[in-house]
Amino acid sequence: MSAYFEFLREIFIRVLADIGNFFYRVFVMPWTDVGENFSFYGAALSAHMGGFGFWGWFFFVLFALLLLGLVGGIVFIIVSLLRKYIRFVKKELDKEELGRQIERLNYELFQAVQEKDKILNLKVGYMGLKTADYDEESKETIEEVSSRFPKLFHVDNKYRGVNVDIPPREDLSLEELCNAFRNFAASQLHLYYREDVIKQLFAGIATSKLIILEGISGTGKTSLALAVGKFFNFDSAIIPVQPSWKDRSELLGYYNEFTKKFNETEFLRALYTTTYRKDLNVIILDEMNLARIEYYFAEFLSIMEMRDPNDWVIDLIPFSVPNDPVNLKDGKLLIPQNVMFFGTANNDDSTFTISDKVYDRAISIFFDDKGREFEAPIQESMSVPYSQLKNLFDEAVIQYPISQAAIDKFEQLDNFIIKKFKLAFGNRILKQLDTFIPVYVACGGKEVDGFDFIFTNKILKKFESLNISFLKNELKELDAQLDKMYGRGNFQMAHSYIETLLKNN
């Protein structure tokens, strides 16, 4: 047994010695002859310096300076790289710390809002008891205060017995509607938009319930959404999105078990109002990407995927009571088809990136400059029932179907994108084409421009997630392929977007 332990001891000592020799040979041995080399340099100089002469010393000094410059340059480059690396690491650490601080501040803001709501609910509960004491003659006021949904109860009272029917307008076409809206915005509101933007807007309204207006600040995004409401004689509801929004309760509200009331939001009130209206109603989510859209708007994104409008139902409360709002059935609210959600989005450091999940379900219109002023005839607002607007969209789909040749050409473009970029259009985009293109043509646009808009806003936007630096040649091929397939002068939006991608990378 002792022989075995002696064997282990010798092996262990040998292994440690081999490891030590390895590090000695790698890090120490290469430098052992440096001192002797310096002695050799000195001896060689002493032996030959006497016969250098003028030109010998001249070249000696010259090469010495060049050598020092080379060594100094190498040292300078190493120091510069180290400084850049240190600054980069420090910047990344600062970003992480800033991100943590922002998260902490958002959480504290959310907590403060929750506390404020609790205090307000306590006040409402207290006021409800007092109102019953002194307002015995006003049955409606007592019912409103005692209702679990005071704001929605007020909407019921406002529309009780009111005739909201709107007679359809005769001889109205989508092209006339687009021109009328553009002239109304210019003559009444002094807002100037290009014709193609208005066509994209109405084709987007026909295609999706969510329109995203994005771009730089001050280009008229929010004004456009407000103008739609004024044009149809019912002001758009504007809901400022807060950075602390994380779930549906920020948008719809929540039931307070302590006060036994539903903490209603302005968004819920505006949404409930649309159940009484017969015209197009617009709800604006201002600065919608200050918070993550797929968090607080997730339920609506899912509902918009359902084909049957009768399935567009959201649960507000698990049980109902006799004095609940009229259009709230078993604690559920059916979202009417005459509501449109407009979201404005600025692209800067204070906002979140809009995900593909949101883009795929929405129609996005990008604003890159202010509209140019033009002379427009005086145009008054118009009352148009949503049913007539929907009929115009349906008629456009029948009257201006996409040609098979255009579909085949777009599928060829799809195959090219798959081959070069590993991206596909997807069934959702192809389905949206069936509505967007015919309506765009009915509004006075060209079919190829409609394809250009969808391709740019649905496909090329996805390229931002790719490493463009390694795909420049493929992008140039795509640029040439578009000219080959659709001819020069067409797909201007796509060409411009590709040029921007190449410049920025």
Q: Looking at 298-395, which runs of residues are DSSP E strands?
A: 313-315, 328-329, 332-334, 339-345, 363-367
> What does the alpha-carbon distance between residue 435 and residue 468 come to, in Å, rounded to a whole number?
32
Q: Please indicate, yes or no, whether the overall pTM of this predicted structure exceeds 0.95.
A: no
190: left (phi over 0), alpha (psi -120 to 50) or beta: left
Helices and strands in the chain, H and E counts: 19, 10
d(C-alpha 308, C-alpha 109), whole Å = 39
What whole-number distance in Å separates Cα of residue 151 and Cα of residue 128?
14
> Which pLDDT does position 125 carry in this prediction?
53
- Please name every residue paired with 286 in a beta bridge, in sequence order, or none if there are none: 240
- Which CATH number, 3.90.1300.10, 1.10.3720.10, 3.30.70.890, 3.40.50.300, labels domain 147-367? 3.40.50.300
DSSP state of 241: P
**Sign of the torsion angle spanned by Cα atoms 405, 407, 410, 411:** negative
Q: Which amino acid is at 96?
A: E
Using DSSP, state whether 444 is helix, strand or coil.
Answer: coil
**pLDDT at residue 127, rounded to an integer:** 46
- Looking at the DSSP bridge assignments, the partners of residue 283 are 237, 341
**pLDDT at res. 142:** 47
Residues 6+ apart with CB under 8 A from 80: none
Q: How far apart are CA 284 and CA 9, in angstroms?
A: 80
Helices (H), 240-385: 249-252, 266-273, 293-296, 298-303, 356-361
pLDDT means per 10 residues, the chain with 505 residues, are 66 76 70 61 68 71 79 84 79 72 70 65 49 41 67 93 92 95 95 94 96 86 94 95 92 88 94 96 95 94 90 91 90 95 87 88 87 90 95 96 90 89 81 94 95 92 81 90 91 92 82
